[in-house]
Structure 1
Amino acid sequence: MDGNGEHTGSTVLVVDDAPDSRHALGSVLARAGHHIVPVASGGEALTELHARVRDGTLPDVALVEVGLPDMSGFELCRRLKSSPPTAALPVVHFSAASAGPGVRCRGLDSGGEAYLSVPAAPEEIQAVVRAAVRGARMRTGAEALARRLTLLSETIVSVQAARCMTGLVRAAAEGTARLTGFPAVVFVLGEDGELHRGLSRSRASAVPPGAEAHDTVARLIRGLAAGHTGARGTVVPYPLWPAGLLGPGHAGDARVVVTRTREGKPAVCLAVPARGPGDEGDPLVTRLAQATALAADALLMYQVERHVALTLQHSFLPQKAPPTRGVETVVRYVPASRQTEIGGDFYAALTTAGGVLTAVGDVAGHSLDAATVMVEIRHALRAYCLEDPDPRSLARRLDRLLQHYHADVTATVCLVLVDPDSGRARIANAGHIPPLVVRGDGTATYAAAKGPLLGLGLDRPPSTETVLRSTDRLLMVTDGLIEDRGTDLTVSMEHLRRAAADAPADVASLCDTLLGRFGRDRQDDIALLALRLTGTV
């Protein structure tokens, strides 16, 4: 460090075809502690820099004579600035000739950082070099910070987009490794004591440590998080940190950041190898730990809500339809994949004074609220049908129910009342996929039944009627079975119609065939109900 508090020891490339001038400049800078790399032409400078790019030893600044024999100093500067590996190298032009404003402007226009007239006082030469190096380092530092902030932002987006804990900890570990340049491991310790672990790609192929190592980490996290909220960074010395967690053969200290949003919430731990006794940690890693803790809170809360909603749905959606006189009914319910939210799909098969009432519907939205409204509709339907099983009347009453108690909720439902003796089927449809009648002769047709959604308070059209024969099957589904983004629903309905027409005659086989064909990895819940008459009409 010189008397001005500036760091010396920079490497300076001096490009000058005059040996005396090259030596004089080199001597002045060497006395200030700089390392000098002298070359005599622009071509030699390009060759030297090419080799140093390959070795990772670029100089800190280049002093370039304007009047070089093979190319001007301005042309050399333009070439350096146009090549990404050398674009950040600061260039100071110099000349012993008298330089007017035009020459100085050419130097700046070519990308140079400064212009020096020689001979000059040693103090001036050293000050210009220091200023050029300092400016380049500040630009490099700002660019590096900008890149790391971009990496942090991208990682936080990935963490927040995760739909399971495995995806969350993996995204956080990979982002930590990219931010620090070291292998990383991320843990989330849930309220129930379950420890979720994610490794960066540099660690993913390693043999994972055993349960004892995980128990050790869990104890460390609990100890560091006890009595604290927010982020806490520290170095965990070896052997308190289990060997191998941060890479094969790693048996050293670990720099960890442990954070949680508040008492009783999951604790998040981000860990990388410690860089030495003076390791003060990385504030961007701390930011990432805090973002990961917020995302883990939300994800675990969602998983609890999903479990409650699934339990609720399974409690009120029996896996087998209750036995009904003269009608065989089969039901199927498949919840959406674990990466998506819970919906409000439902079905019902009820014995009434007018015959067998079947219903399939879907409450708008994907949440515990939707599942709760689904249960209300199903209970209301069971009560209403005892008084009047007419499908149109039931649709009206369910519509009023939503308007009165859930004014901001809409739902679709299809209601079919089947008389087992005559085969007569009356259908009321409220914005749902109409029932599909699969005939014994191998044809399939959608019933011409339609009407507005429930919850809008609109008039209900008259019921549609059809007659079922003993060889026919009636199929009712929710749109989760066939709906695809980017595909018109009518196209998907036609695919379903053709598949149903070719399916086996048995109603259970019909449902299973269609689930096998359309129901894999669906992003929405699926409900199916199929029936056929068991008597002779």
Structure 2
Amino acid sequence: MDVNGKLTHATVLLVDDEPASRFAVESVLSRAGHRVLAVGSGGEALTELDVRLRKGNLPDVALIDVHLPDMSGFELCRLLKERPRMAGLPVVHVSALAAPPSDRCPALDAGDEAYLTVPAEPEEIEAAVRAAVRAARLRADDQALVKRLTLLSEMIVTIQAARSLQELVEVAADGTARLTNTPAAVFVLDRDDELYRGLPRDRTSVALPGPDADRAVARLLRRLSQGQSGVQITTVPAPLWPTGLFRPGVEHDARLALVLTQEGRAPVCLAAPTRGLRRVGPEAEALLAQLAQATALAAEPLLMYQVERHVALTLQRSFLPKPDQLPELPGVDAAVRYVPASQDAEIGGDFYAVLRAGGGVLFAVGDVVGHSLEAATVMVEIRHALRAYCVDESDPSVLAERLDRMLRHYHPETTATMCLALVDPDTGRTLISNSGHIPPLIVRDSGTADYAKAAGPLLGVGLSHPPPTELFLEPTDRLLMITDGLIETRGTDISASMEHLRAAASGALPGLDALCDTLLDCFGVDRGDDIAMLALRLG
């Protein structure tokens, strides 16, 4: 159609077994600029449509004579409407006889758009074709819009379920590509100027642009977002838009939907090639803007979590001594490890401590239940309280009782697990108090390993703690204390995981660092929880 809505040309399937009538109608439509495909029977019409369906170029309208040699025009219409991929083809029935109600009703029931009696004025024939095509295209546009709106709703639900910024940009890129039926890219620039880029899943890694493209987009987003509010729809010409972001090695003008998160800092950008959007239609940009707003809303809590995770991780690392920062421990060697949870997981309250106490050296490994900045904060309080309590007390069970009271007094909704081991370097005498934690593992140079028989209630539940378990370490023994993040796996019984750990530790090379590194290599890759580990032996 032209700008005035007038049908400029169409492909018309004319089904009529009378050559003279067929010639007359074909002449009228051809003079009006339409392309005519003329056949003489219902069977020929079905064959022609099947061929064109396979090629993807169905006609725009079918003019069907009511009286055909092999079937009625109404039956042919009904057959077309029963085929899902042909149901949208508009049909105009044609008859040389005036149409009584007994004929018009079956035509309407069969799904036709109009009923035309011939001979008719050329203007009337063309008007019938024009009206049928216009109505069909409006219906197709409405159906496409409904489909896109449904898809938009589905994409918003998927976007809101994203658990990380990287997952968010990836699902948003898939949604943008599906919504616009074009290539797409989605970007989020966080407050630390780190760019998260998402492309549709059908893009292969070998076809992805390099870091220079990301830096160019980051500069562009910073400039375009200055002083912006609401959704900004803008075009970036190909020389300014990195080559290959939409199609490998191809330059494209980019149409951007740019919006800031609510706090007004992090730009969120949905991008598609301008030429592709024009083919889809003007409503695609409106839907793109809505999807951009939904992506920005979903990015807001993820950005806040990212900040909280950074603070919690900084807090963890600032209070946990690094392996080369452990205090001097005459008569005892120690090795420690701390591995934060994978990028997509929250930081918890895992900790370790190595402290001098009146009866020897106190070793502690613990885990505050929960994963948040609050858990990390409570972890710090427990470590400080433990340092203070062991100034005048070294019995691990007494220390556990005091920490339990502290936790119930200041954090009544919080619990923690912890294992304390007091080691006398001169004799190897070791006292262990275990508060709901994985018990220590004694690894011997003979190639065997066993868990210490030490158990007790969680900290923070108000139950009394039993006397400490006593054992004696040999100079060749290694004592290993871990948090459950090293071995706990959803769906796997913890006792089975502990047995796997025992077997792996038994086969580790001699030395504390070798033991820790072996276990991290076996169990500590891409974990969903923090890992704290402490290994010691008599020096």
TM-score with structure 1 setting the length: 0.83
Structure 2 unaligned spans of 5+: none
2:356 paired residue number: 351
Q: Indicate the SS of the match to 2:390.
A: helix
Q: Matched residues in 1 for 2:448 and 2:276: separation?
A: 76
Partner of 1:413: 418
CA distance in 1, matches of 2:107, 2:276: 44
Mapped contact 1:328–1:532 kept (Cα < 8 A)? yes
Shift of 1:376: 0.9
In structure 1, the partner of 2:322 is 319
Matched, 1:497 2:502: yes
CA distance in 2, matches of 1:306, 1:242: 32
Aligned to 2:287, which of 281, 284, 289?
Answer: 284
- Residues 61/326 of structure 1: CA separation in 2 closer, same or farther (3 Å cut): same
Residues 305 and 49 (structure 1), Cα distance of their counterparts in 2 relative to 1, 3 Å cut:
same
TM-superposed CA distance for 1:482, in Å, is 0.9
Match runs of 1:244-283 below 5 Å: 247=247, 253-262=253-262, 264-275=264-275, 282-283=285-286
1:87 and 1:390 map into 2 onto residues whose CA distance is 83
C-alpha change, 1:146 and 1:451, in structure 2 (3 Å) is farther
2: CA distance between counterparts of 1:85 and 1:187? 37
Relative to structure 1, the CA distance from residue 318 to residue 88 in structure 2 (aligned partners, 3 Å threshold; closer, same or farther) is: same
* SS of alignment partner, residue 234 of structure 2: strand
* Partner-residue secondary structure (3-state), 1:451: coil
Q: Write the distance in 1 (CA, Å) between the matches of 2:208 and 2:466.
A: 66
C-alpha distance 415-97 of structure 1, shift in aligned 2 (>3 A): farther
SS at the partner of 2:417? strand
Q: Alignment partner of 2:461: what SS?
A: coil
For the residues of structure 2 that align with 1:124 and 1:453, how far apart are their CA atoms? 88
What pairs up with 1:122-161 in 2 under 5 angstroms?
132-153=132-153, 155-156=155-156, 159-160=159-160
Moved more, 279-288 or 494-503: 279-288
CA 516–172 in structure 1, closer or farther in 2 if over 3 Å, else same: same
**d(CA) in 2 for partners of 1:54 and 1:414?**
71
| More displaced 10-residue stretch of structure 1: 117-126 or 257-266 | 117-126
Question: What does residue 380 of structure 2 align with?
Answer: 375
- Mapped contact 1:347–1:359 kept (Cα < 8 A): yes
Figure out how many residues of one structure are paired with residues of the other and give that number.
531
Deviation at 1:132, TM superposition (A): 4.9
Partner of 2:54: 54
SS of the equivalent of 1:282 reads helix
2:486 counterpart residue number: 481
Counterpart-to-counterpart distance in 2, 1:415 and 1:276: 65
Match of 1:474, SS state, is strand
Whichever residue aligns with residue 183 of structure 1, its letter is P
Distance, in Å, in 2 between the alignment partners of 1:217 and 1:431 is 50
Answering whether residue 341 of structure 2 is matched by residue 341 of structure 1, we say: no
Whether the aligned pair in 2 keeps the contact of 1:209 and 1:244 (CA below 8 Å) is no
Cα separation, 2, equivalents of 1:520 and 1:349: 25
- 1:192-211 per-position Cα deviation (integer Å, ceiling 9, x unaligned): 44555455556965574785
**Distance of 1:457 and 1:325 partners within structure 2:** 36
Q: C-alpha distance in 2, partners of 1:217/1:501? A: 52
CA-CA distance at 1:465 after TM superposition = 3.2
- Change in Cα spacing, 1:101 to 1:376, as seen in structure 2 (3 Å) is farther
Once residues 117 and 158 of structure 2 are traced to their aligned partners in structure 1, the CA distance between those partners, rounded to angstroms, is 55
The 1:464/1:243 distance shift into structure 2, 3 A limit, reads closer
Length-normalised TM-score, structure 2:
0.83
Deviation at 1:237, TM superposition (A): 4.6
Q: Secondary structure at the match of 1:86?
A: coil
Counterpart of 1:398 in 2: which secondary structure? helix
Distance 1:61 1:327, change over 3 A: same
| 1:487 CA displacement | 1.1
Per-residue deviation, 1:14: 3.2
Contact 2:359 / 2:424 at 8 angstroms: preserved in 1? yes
Q: Identity across aligned pairs (percent)?
A: 62
Partner of 2:469: 464
Contact 2:335 2:512 survives alignment (8 Å): yes
Which residue, out of 316, 327, 333, partners 1:328? 333
Are the aligned partners of 1:225 and 1:260 in contact in 2 as well (CA < 8 Å)?
Answer: yes
Q: Which moved more, 1:33-42 or 1:494-503?
A: 33-42
Residue 203 of structure 1 contacts residue 247 of structure 1 at CA under 8 Å; is this kept in 2?
Answer: no
> Does residue 391 of structure 1 match 2:413?
no
Change (3 A) 1:421 1:217: closer
Q: 454-463 or 346-355: which moved more?
A: 454-463
In the TM superposition, what is the alpha-carbon distance from 1:269 to its structure 2 partner? 3.1
**Contact 2:10-2:60 at 8 Å conserved across structures:** yes
Choose which of 298, 308, 313 in structure 2 pairs with 1:310. 313
CA 1:473–1:194 in structure 2 vs 1: closer, same or farther (change >3 Å)?
A: closer
Residue 15 of structure 2: aligned partner: 15
Q: 1:450 to 1:276 in 2, by over 3 A?
A: closer
- Aligned residue for 2:183? 183
Aligned to 2:534, the other structure's residue is in SS state: strand
8 Å Cα contact 2:277/2:285 also seen in 1: no
In the alignment, what sits opposite 2:440? 435
What's the secondary structure of 2:391's corresponding residue?
Answer: helix
In 1, Cα distance between equivalents of 2:439 and 2:242: 61
Alignment of structure 1 residues 81-96 onto 2, 5 Å: 81-91=81-91
Q: Which residue of 1 aligns with 2:42?
A: 42
Structure-1 residue corresponding to 2:524:
519
- 1:316-364 Cα offsets, whole Å, 9 max, x none, are 1113343334333222211122222212111112221123222211112
Change (3 A) 1:103 1:317: farther
CA drift at 1:403:
1.9
Letter in 1 for 2:463: L
CA RMSD of aligned residues (A): 3.9
How far off its partner does 1:214 sit? 6.5
Contact (CA 8 Å) 1:265, 1:297: kept in 2 or not?
A: no
Aligned residues of 1:217 and 1:241 also touching (Cα < 8 A):
yes
Which deviates the most, 491-500 or 270-279?
Answer: 270-279
Q: Are the equivalent residues in 1 in contact too, given 2:97–2:118 (CA < 8 A)?
A: no
Name whichever of 139-148 and 32-41 sits farther off: 32-41
The separation in 2 between residues aligned to 1:359 and 1:472, in whole angstroms, is 18
Contact 1:357 1:416 in 2 (8 A): yes
Decide which of 294, 313, 319 is 2:297's aligned counterpart.
Answer: 294
CA distance in 2, matches of 1:331, 1:260: 43
Q: Give distance in 2, aligned partners of 1:492 and 1:207.
A: 40
| Worse-matched range after superposition: 465-474 or 45-54 | 465-474
Q: Retained in 2: the 8 A contact 1:173–1:198?
A: yes
* 1:160-175 equivalent positions in 2, closer than 5 A: 160=160, 167-175=167-175
The more displaced of 49-58 and 176-185 is 176-185
Q: Is the 8 A contact 1:230 1:261 kept in 2?
A: no
Question: Any conservation in 2 of the 1:104–1:115 contact (CA below 8 Å)?
Answer: no
